[in-house]
Amino acid sequence: MTKVLMVCLGNICRSPLAEGILRSKLDSSKYEIDSAGTSNQHEGSLPDQRSIEVARDYGLDITNQRSRPFVKEDFKRFDHIFVMDTSNYEDILDLAETQEDRNKVSLILDKIFPGENESVPDPYHNSIDGFKQVYEMLEESCSVIAKEWDKS
């Protein structure tokens, strides 16, 4: 079983979409996908209504998800940790204790813009269009991930 964690700040806008999208592309008997936030501010909450709506427009139901904070044990539990932006990257690396932990962490947009240090913009204060743009970026990155892994 390969275990994948998607991480953003609140775990209500971007990483729930990333979790739902990647889950829809991979075989659940081989891949476990989860998501978490660097902050615990929204712990226990449903994804943001705008993420729920955009996901639904693309045929995905993400209403089974609830926000939870990232915990240090996640480094041991997961094989890959995809972060949405450079600030999440710094926050997660600050919690890493070993090089093995650090090696698990990467920016999700590296999959489509390798080496460019690109971030998925935080859509929280944006309109629904910002959420659609986030969805499309994540869809592209998750397609690359699924293609790479389906071959291995």
Residues forming the site for ligand 4NP (CB under 6 A): 8-14, 41, 122, 124
Q: Which of 8, 48, 50, 142 is catalytic?
A: 8
Between CA 134 and CA 14 the distance in angstroms is 7
Q: Which CB, 14 or 80, lies closer to ligand 4NP?
A: 14
Pairing of strands 2-8, 105-107: unpaired
Contact criterion met (CB below 8 Å) for 132 and 50: no
Q: Which CB, 84 or 145, lies closer to ligand 4NP?
A: 84
Say if residue 64 is exposed, middle or buried (CB neighbours under 10 Å; 0-12, 13-18, 19+): exposed
142 is catalytic: no
State CA 70 to chain mean position distance.
12
Contact criterion met (CB below 8 Å) for 20 and 48: no
Q: Which CB, 8 or 108, lies closer to ligand 4NP?
A: 8
57 is catalytic: no
122 is catalytic: yes
Least distance (Å) between residue 134 CB and ligand 4NP: 8
Least distance (Å) between residue 152 CB and ligand 4NP: 29
Q: Mind telling me the catalytic residues?
A: 8, 14, 122
